[in-house]
Structure 1
Amino acid sequence: MTPVPSVEERQGREIAHYRSVAAQDTEAILGWQSPAGRARADRRGRLFVGRGRIASGARVLELGCGTGEFTRRVAPSGARVVALDLSGDLLVKARAKLDGAARFVRGNAHVLPFADASFDVVYGCSILHHLDVGVALREVRRVLRPGGRLVFSEPNLVNPQVLLMFKIAALKFHYGGSPDEMAFTRRAIRRVLGAIGFSRFSVTHFDFVHPAIPGALLPVVEPLLERLERVPFVRALSGSMLIHAER
């Protein structure tokens, strides 16, 4: 039986993996550079601001900011954004892209370097499944003020492509995945949120848009795919989940 890697070993592998990713065309590898990829990122940015009720002057923390793709979509709200990532290599790119728009911090999401009740909102895209989710969300709850909100977008393990990508190592490598990351289901994350003490939370299936859809087809295809999010049973196969909770 293969031994389970320690948290420290996993973090070391994450740092090494994203050092390699940072040395390449990062956004292309992660799927955010194509026309459909940019549309998906734009929608997530709007959801973070809207569901988080992020307004000018709000104290906001982004977990797993990477190269700042979502930081730059939230910063125009006027919020005071602190963007955290474990990878110093990705943060170099983020600072170059967004100098002055946010405060970038290298840190560990399992032990956040912030005082209790420091933030009004914590958000992030595709970061929780890289972490020990329970440990990370306890830290998120700690740094949120009473009434504060979290908003995360995460891959949905029930989606057929996501399932294959996370179960087949070659596919995970092809799509830029790190060795130890693992997506989860709606039921699993709801169970964690309840156990940690979030009394008000929701997990919504969304996003059937694939990054490979040609840009010329997006105006026609995107509205049709959004309708699938409202179809019972079908929506459970969406590519992503939007996680929202209040402290």
Structure 2
Amino acid sequence: MSRTALQDERGFNQVFKPVGSTPLRMRRRGDWFVTQIERLGARRVLEIGSGTGDTAAYLATHSKAEIVAVDMSERFVAEARARHAATNLRYELFDVLGDTPLAFGHFDMVCGNGILHHLIRRLPDVLRALHGLTSSNGGLAFIEPNFLNPYCALIFGTKFGRRWAKLEPDEMAFTPGELRSVLPAAGWRAVEVITRDFLLPGLPEMFIKPSIAIEPVLEASAATRWLAQSHFITAQA
């Protein structure tokens, strides 16, 4: 795991220093979100759990959509505003369940990178709230950790891993089946959960090229694909 650069007010949620494989990993995820914006023809995008704003800034730079990025941490929002600025980008302090749902209007796409697993005990309500914020032709795009991945299983499934990663008490990774059941129950349709990505965060540079070289082989086989680190989730409103 990469070294921590910033934590929220409670000391749980961390932003990691961009070392080793982390910058490449974030660019690849940013490109995936941009692809979803283009696929949906989204003009307004809401990112929840935006942290210090790197993903939102990437989306604003690589698309023409208006990006509204929200987080419930004052520290993270202040840091995001200090780091990034663009005419099609804004950062707001907002709790998707605790604040007025339509404070910023409707969106063509709602998204987030590793945020739903922080909300697992409130997930049905969160997904219903997001559905209410999304236009009828819109959709969602999320990337979430796969509990079946050995690295994730260590972090989320053991006392040592949870202490080491400083996880919140209720934070938990997902199996694909859990996601495929909870999203339709919240009103989302055409749910697709694709498990992929074998590039670990903070991997030393000497291991990046070998990991990228073997990744397509691991993702192409059903025998190994389920071990990938992340679920790439899309659905229609």
TM-score by length of 2: 0.86
The correspondence of residues 57-206 of structure 1 with structure 2, limited to 5 A, is 58-76=43-61, 77-100=63-86, 102-111=89-98, 113-115=100-102, 118-131=106-119, 132-206=122-196
Deviations, residues 109-131 of structure 1 (Å, cap 9, x unaligned): 22463439700111100000111
Gaps of 5+ in 2: 1-7
Q: Is the 8 A contact 2:40 2:139 kept in 1?
A: no
Q: Is the 8 A contact 1:54 1:121 kept in 2?
A: no
Aligned identity (percent) is 31
* SS of match in other structure, 1:109: coil
Deviations, residues 82-127 of structure 1 (Å, cap 9, x unaligned): 1010111111111111134521111112246343970011110000
Structure 1 vs Structure 2 CA RMSD: 2.3
* Structure with more strand by fraction: 2
* SS of match in other structure, 1:84: strand
> Aligned AA for 1:79?
A
Which of the numbers 49, 52, 58 marks the counterpart of 2:37? 52
* SS of match in other structure, 1:227: helix
> Aligned AA for 2:109?
V
> Aligned AA for 1:27?
F
Q: Is the 8 A contact 1:40 1:209 kept in 2?
A: yes
> Aligned AA for 2:22?
G
Q: Quickly say closer, same or farther: Cα 1:193–1:112, change in 2 above 3 A.
A: farther
Q: Displacement, 1:172?
A: 2.2
* 178-187 vs 199-208, which moves further: 178-187
What is the distance in 2 between the residues matched to 1:194 and 1:56?
A: 22
Q: Quickly say closer, same or farther: Cα 1:217–1:158, change in 2 above 3 A.
A: closer
Deviations, residues 36-84 of structure 1 (Å, cap 9, x unaligned): 1111111110111102327897101001000112112111112111101
TM-score by length of 1: 0.83
Gaps of 5+ in 1: 1-13
What is the distance in 2 between the residues matched to 1:150 and 1:85?
A: 17
Match of 2:4 in 1: none
Q: Is the 8 A contact 1:54 1:79 kept in 2?
A: no
> Aligned AA for 1:59?
R
Q: Is the 8 A contact 2:114 2:145 kept in 1?
A: yes
